[in-house]
Structure 1
Amino acid sequence: MSREQRDALDATLRSAPRPETRPTPEEQRSGFAAAVTRPAPEGVVTRRTVLGGRPTLELEPAEASARGRLLYLHGGGYVIGSPDTHAGLVGELARRAGLHATSVDYRLAPEHPFPAAVDDGLAAYRELLASGTDPRDLVMAGDSAGGGLSIATLLAAREAGLPQPAAVVVFSPWADLTLAGGSIRSKEGADPIFTEADVRAYADLYVGAGDRAHPLASPVFADLAGLPPLLVQVGSNEVLLDDAVRLAGRAGADGVEVTLEVGPGLPHVFQHHYGRLDEADAALDRAARFLTAHLSAGRPGAAPLEPVH
């Protein structure tokens, strides 16, 4: 992998101007959209639909399997981001896995604080099952806050008596809104994007005076027993490193099949930088293989899905 690519990305991320006063949520949303939005990859068709009462973006690769389905929850601290800002990332994962993907435009804070996002994730998941999607043909993924939300959605589904999907992948999950992980402070200098204050501000907007240790807000404190096989990918140069490590540890302790990958010298959701960072492409390939392997494993005797690279 390329040290030059990692160094160049770190320098680029650090060069982003930091305002003297914290922008409003609306300003943050427009700035985030301008900075990170990448279009869906060539050969991936998109269309707008509704699922669970929320707008969604459907992404269908040209060589998508007839049966596999990916439900994706985007990142953004529960305050910013959308299916449009993540169309490139979701489309790349869907294309490499050969899966039809649905990216949910869940409600954002502060207009819609916790647990609105969890309610929307669960509603989308519930409707997929109710419409006839076999849970053995369904996988989930999410990044950052969407990673924590993916786990929270599956916890809510478990409590509702719904079956679990075949697998779940999370990129740099934000899984502890109490900010108890040591890396929140120890990695602040290494993280080119976030400070502890940044993360705390998002938690303030999402949970406010509520219980930040609630299992559906901070899945590191949840009983994860019964969740599907889990892949956690995180960079070593991010304040949320310990969220990922502790989530994987909690999952393992609760009997969940879990794989943790820590990318040395990599920033938050480094997978966004596919096509210009070798580690991002390799990580997306591994995530795609993980998802398709568990889709195949859910149906004994079924031919394995072939990821599209």
Structure 2
Amino acid sequence: MRSAHHSGDAVGRSIVAALRAAVSVALLSLCLAAPSLAAEEPVQTEASKAQVAKLLDKMGEYYSKAGTLAERRAAFEQLMQQTPGPSKVQIRQVDAGGVAAELIWPARVHYALGKRAILYVHGGGFYSGSLDTHRASAASFAKAASADVLLIDYRLAPEYPYPSQIDDTLTAYLWLLDSGYESGNIVVLGDAAGGNLAIQAVLRQIKLRGPPPAAVIAISAVTDLAATGASITTNAANDPFGNAFQIEAARKAYLGDRSPTDPRVSPLYADMKGFPPLLMQVGSREISLDDTLRLADRARQAGVDVTTEVLPGMVHQWHLFPFWLDDARKSNQRAAEFALQHFADKPRP
């Protein structure tokens, strides 16, 4: 997400340096909500390191010369076009209260359409990402969680700045309620910038005294647009997608002159009281690592039931690549199980 005035070559050098950085990082904790359930600190396997290295090589092919936000938007689309598409699902285009979206559900016997739903808010720095980049991921969650997934095509910055993205997310959630899904059978899931939007939309729904969803899942979430976390610096050499220039460009495109510490744009500064159960997953190599850890702590202090997972050696939005990363398959399955645990109506065996 470098700003437009930085050259593609400079971005290329930055990414190449990141790709050459050691995949191995310090051991990290898998923090669960209940300390008594805490497991031993996981260590990234050699097989996992090799898989991540191959993924980074593939990413570098598309991002190495993408300097502007528009170029990075196109690079993301091109990268995801090389990945396997969805399978064993039904897909229908829908108008979710004026928000373009796709409703995706498992194509199997004994599946009850219209019972459980996941509202999927894609990532992409507020300025990129689409139905195409996240359709396969949404389909995998539909199958794993035995749920309908509403994948929304919310408006993007800079063409549509804040609060368009949050407006669209909340509109889609209200559309699910109006369509017959009960709040206790809806889980909101967002990755990266989508994690921010998912949390902010639910916070707004709580402030409006409307029924919140059963749970929220935030993967690689951007929770502090002021970028004050220590991992912004300490993970700079480990994260091929994040640096100060990229963060600043995306922030300006999304917020303009609005303060990044406004609790309406950065969940880290918001009052989390009354928030539903929250699962936060993040990779150890991400510059936004502290965005997850600090918000998780803040939410716990507010009485929220929080489960936090830190995945050793994983990069930003690793979960989009379960066909290349064993760790992505495993973490996505845990996320689906989290959704299943919180749906009021459980699926049939």
Please say if 1:43 is aligned against 2:88. yes
Does the residue aligned with 2:194 lie in a helix, a strand or coil? helix
Q: What amino acid sits opposite 1:166 in the alignment? A: A
Q: Distance in 1 between matches of 2:332 and 2:112?
A: 18
Match of 1:91 in 2: 139
Q: Distance in 2 between matches of 1:227 and 1:94?
A: 24
Superposed, 1:92-107 pairs within 5 Å as 92-107=140-155
Q: What amino acid sits opposite 1:54 in the alignment? A: V
Does the residue aligned with 1:86 lie in a helix, a strand or coil? helix
Aligned residues: 300
Does the residue aligned with 2:132 lie in a helix, a strand or coil? coil
Q: Distance in 1 between matches of 2:274 and 2:97?
A: 24
**Runs of 5+ in structure 2 lacking a partner?**
1-43
Match of 1:61 in 2: 106
Match of 2:73 in 1: 29
Q: Distance in 2 between matches of 1:207 and 1:119?
A: 14
Identify if the C-alpha distance between structure 1 residues 275 and 39 changes in structure 2 by more than 3 Å, giving closer, same or farther. closer
Does the residue aligned with 1:141 lie in a helix, a strand or coil? strand
1:59-104 per-position Cα deviation (integer Å, ceiling 9, x unaligned): 1112444411111100000000012210111111111111110011
- 1:7 aligns with one of 34, 42, 50: 50
1:259-279 per-position Cα deviation (integer Å, ceiling 9, x unaligned): 000011111111111022111
**Runs of 5+ in structure 1 lacking a partner?**
none
Q: Distance in 2 between matches of 1:2 and 1:257?
A: 30
Identify if the C-alpha distance between structure 1 residues 21 and 35 changes in structure 2 by more than 3 Å, giving closer, same or farther. closer
Please say if 1:137 is aligned against 2:185. yes
Match of 2:249 in 1: 201
1:217 Cα deviation after fit: 1.2
Q: Distance in 2 between matches of 1:246 and 1:140?
A: 20
Q: What amino acid sits opposite 1:188 in the alignment? A: A
- 1:284 aligns with one of 332, 335, 340: 332
State the TM-score, normalized to the length of structure 2: 0.81
Match of 2:7 in 1: none
1:11 Cα deviation after fit: 4.8
1:17-60 per-position Cα deviation (integer Å, ceiling 9, x unaligned): 555672252x3322210112445421012121110211001111
Q: What amino acid sits opposite 1:74 in the alignment? A: H
State the TM-score, normalized to the length of structure 1: 0.91
Superposed, 1:1-309 pairs within 5 Å as 2-13=45-56, 16=60, 18=63, 22-25=67-70, 27-37=71-81, 38=83, 40-63=85-108, 64-66=111-113, 67-295=115-343, 298=344, 304-305=346-347
Q: Distance in 1 between matches of 2:152 and 2:258?
A: 25
Identify if the C-alpha distance between structure 1 residues 183 and 133 changes in structure 2 by more than 3 Å, giving closer, same or farther. same
Q: Distance in 2 between matches of 1:168 and 1:285?
A: 15
Does the residue aligned with 2:162 lie in a helix, a strand or coil? coil
Identify if the C-alpha distance between structure 1 residues 56 and 252 changes in structure 2 by more than 3 Å, giving closer, same or farther. same
Identify if the C-alpha distance between structure 1 residues 162 and 13 changes in structure 2 by more than 3 Å, giving closer, same or farther. same
1:100-150 per-position Cα deviation (integer Å, ceiling 9, x unaligned): 100111110001111110111111112221232210111110100001110
Identify if the C-alpha distance between structure 1 residues 19 and 267 changes in structure 2 by more than 3 Å, giving closer, same or farther. closer
Does the residue aligned with 1:55 lie in a helix, a strand or coil? strand
Deviates more, 1:220-229 or 1:61-70: 61-70
**In 2, are the aligned partners of 1:233 and 1:244 still within 8 Å (CA)?**
yes
Identity fraction in percent: 36
Q: Distance in 2 between matches of 1:36 and 1:185?
A: 28
Deviates more, 1:218-227 or 1:195-204: 195-204
